[in-house]
């Protein structure tokens, strides 16, 4: 089947027509080629407009019913300003770095949230499900992050320090409302 795909590029009425011979066997390879362009589109999305509500870490802990990670969050959350500074340095050399880090953790959370809510057969309020599972959500995201970091080649950190550093990064993402829900004002 030969198909013409016409798309409005960047919303300014510039159209690109691409001819593809679409077969089931090559859809994934076409999508793989398109992923870098999709990443650029996502990177240009400005979600900071919706992310300006102030709240305290205490409010975040209480609203999401964080119990077992409460002390860890309070202890490792204190490194937030230093992590912000480090992220800004990386962002200066690799524009979009901060956004990518936050998107990484937000995506991990949204997938975990979707998984938990999809198991909800009795119509329970999704926020109650999140509250009941908040510590498990944090733990699962932390463990997944550590596993993914361990697969990185040429990482220059001893395994003993890895957990501590990973906790700092996960706590930072949580404090910045990329993991769990924002407390209402």
Q: Return the percentage of the chain with pLDDT > 70, whole number.
A: 72
pLDDT at 45: 65
- Residue 20 predicted with pLDDT over 60: no
Q: What is the pLDDT of residues 43-91, one digit of tens each?
A: 666 655 455 456 788 999 999 999 999 999 988 888 888 999 999 999 9
Q: Does residue 64 contact residue 180 with C-beta atoms inside 8 Å? A: yes
Domain that holds residue 107: 48-175
Q: CA–CA separation, 15 vs 36, rounded Å?
A: 19
pLDDT at 25: 47
Q: Does residue 137 contact residue 150 with C-beta atoms inside 8 Å? A: no
In a domain, 184, yes or no: no
Percent composition of the chain: helix, strand, coil (DSSP 3-state, to 5)? 65, 10, 25
Q: Model confidence at 13, in pLDDT bands (50, 70, 90)?
A: low
In a domain, 34, yes or no: yes
Residues 57 and 144 reside in one and the same domain: yes
Quote the number of domains for the chain. Answer: 2
Residues 53 and 40 reside in one and the same domain: no
Q: At what angle do helices 80-93 and 159-175 cross, to 10 degrees?
A: 90
Residue 46, CA distances (Å) to 4, 42, 65, 99, 148 in order: 31, 9, 29, 9, 27
In a domain, 90, yes or no: yes
In a domain, 182, yes or no: no
pTM score, whole prediction: 0.75
More reliable by pLDDT, 37 or 8: 37
């Amino acid at each position: 089947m030969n198909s013409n795909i016409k798309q409005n590029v960047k919303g300014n009425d510039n159209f690109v027509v691409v001819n593809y011979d679409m077969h089931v066997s090559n859809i994934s390879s076409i999508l793989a080629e398109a992923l870098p362009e999709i990443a650029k589109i996502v990177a240009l999305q400005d979600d900071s407009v919706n992310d300006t509500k102030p709240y305290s870490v205490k409010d975040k802990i209480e609203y999401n019913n964080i119990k077992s990670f409460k002390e860890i969050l309070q202890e490792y959350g204190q490194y937030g300003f230093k992590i912000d500074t480090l992220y800004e340095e990386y962002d200066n050399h690799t524009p979009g770095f901060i956004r990518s880090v936050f998107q990484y953790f937000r995506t991990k959370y949204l997938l975990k949230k979707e998984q938990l809510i999809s198991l909800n057969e009795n119509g329970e309020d999704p926020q109650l499900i999140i509250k009941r599972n908040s510590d498990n959500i944090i733990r699962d995201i932390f463990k997944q992050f550590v596993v993914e970091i361990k697969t990185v080649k040429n990482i220059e950190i001893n395994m003993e320090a890895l957990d501590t550093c990973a906790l700092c990064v996960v706590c930072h993402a949580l404090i910045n409302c990329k993991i769990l829900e924002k407390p209402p004002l």
